């Protein structure tokens, strides 16, 4: 199966919500919550589903928060030779032009959190952050976007719930 999209095609951007994390403990730093064992299993199965679809990535950008970083690490099998995982604070806050300016690669994934991921998706598709209230990413859910990484210029190829991805990976 040919990996999608081929080099030179319209840029591929996957928006990925982190997997299920530990419940927050009283006084715990929200940024340090780890994935649960079930969360890890489900992310691995979703990654297997993406592999079945022929996804290959040049880079995975992740929020520095632990649960997102752990999710990004589990996406390692999707990285092309020489691919890398990079942390960016821009995925742990509302979307901005500054974030878009740091993204390189024809085939990338952005691993982050709600509500910012929904806002980012809406902004890339429509040019409006506020439309993100209408998008809800389930944990380990993926939006597959193509086109120039500019507000209002991308197209939605698929909105993939984690259960669907897991069924592909089995």
pLDDT digits 0-9 by tens, 78-123: 999 999 999 999 999 999 999 999 999 999 999 999 999 999 999 9
φ, ψ at 118 (rounded to 5°) = -60, -40
Is 117 part of any domain?
yes
Q: What CA–CA distance (Å, rounded) separates 117 from 93?
A: 9
Q: What CA–CA distance (Å, rounded) separates 44 from 166?
A: 8
Number of domains the chain is built from: 1
- pLDDT tier, 9 (very low <50, low <70, confident <90, very high otherwise): low
Host domain of residue 134: 12-20+32-169
**Residue 165 belongs to a domain with what CATH number?**
3.40.50.1240
Q: What is the pLDDT of residues 22-78, one digit of tens each?
A: 988 777 788 889 999 999 999 999 999 999 999 999 999 999 999 999 999 999 999
CA-angle at 44, arms to 23 and 107, nearest 5°: 110
């Amino acid at each position: 199966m040919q990996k999608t999209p081929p080099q030179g095609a319209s840029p591929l951007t996957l928006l990925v919500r982190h997997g299920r994390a530990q419940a927050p403990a009283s006084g715990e730093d929200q940024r340090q919550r780890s994935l649960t064992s079930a969360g890890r299993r489900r992310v691995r199965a979703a990654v297997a589903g993406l592999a079945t679809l022929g996804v290959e990535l040049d880079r995975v950008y992740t929020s520095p928060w632990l649960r997102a970083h752990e999710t990004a690490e589990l996406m390692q099998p999707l990285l092309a030779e020489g691919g890398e995982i990079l942390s960016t604070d821009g995925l742990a806050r509302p979307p901005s032009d500054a974030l878009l300016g740091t993204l390189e690669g024809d085939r990338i994934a952005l691993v982050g959190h709600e509500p910012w991921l929904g806002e980012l998706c809406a902004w890339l598709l429509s040019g409006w952050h506020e439309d993100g209230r209408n998008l809800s990413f389930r944990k380990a859910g993926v939006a597959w976007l193509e086109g120039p990484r500019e507000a209002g210029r991308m197209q939605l190829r698929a909105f993939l719930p984690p259960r669907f991805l897991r069924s592909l990976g089995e």
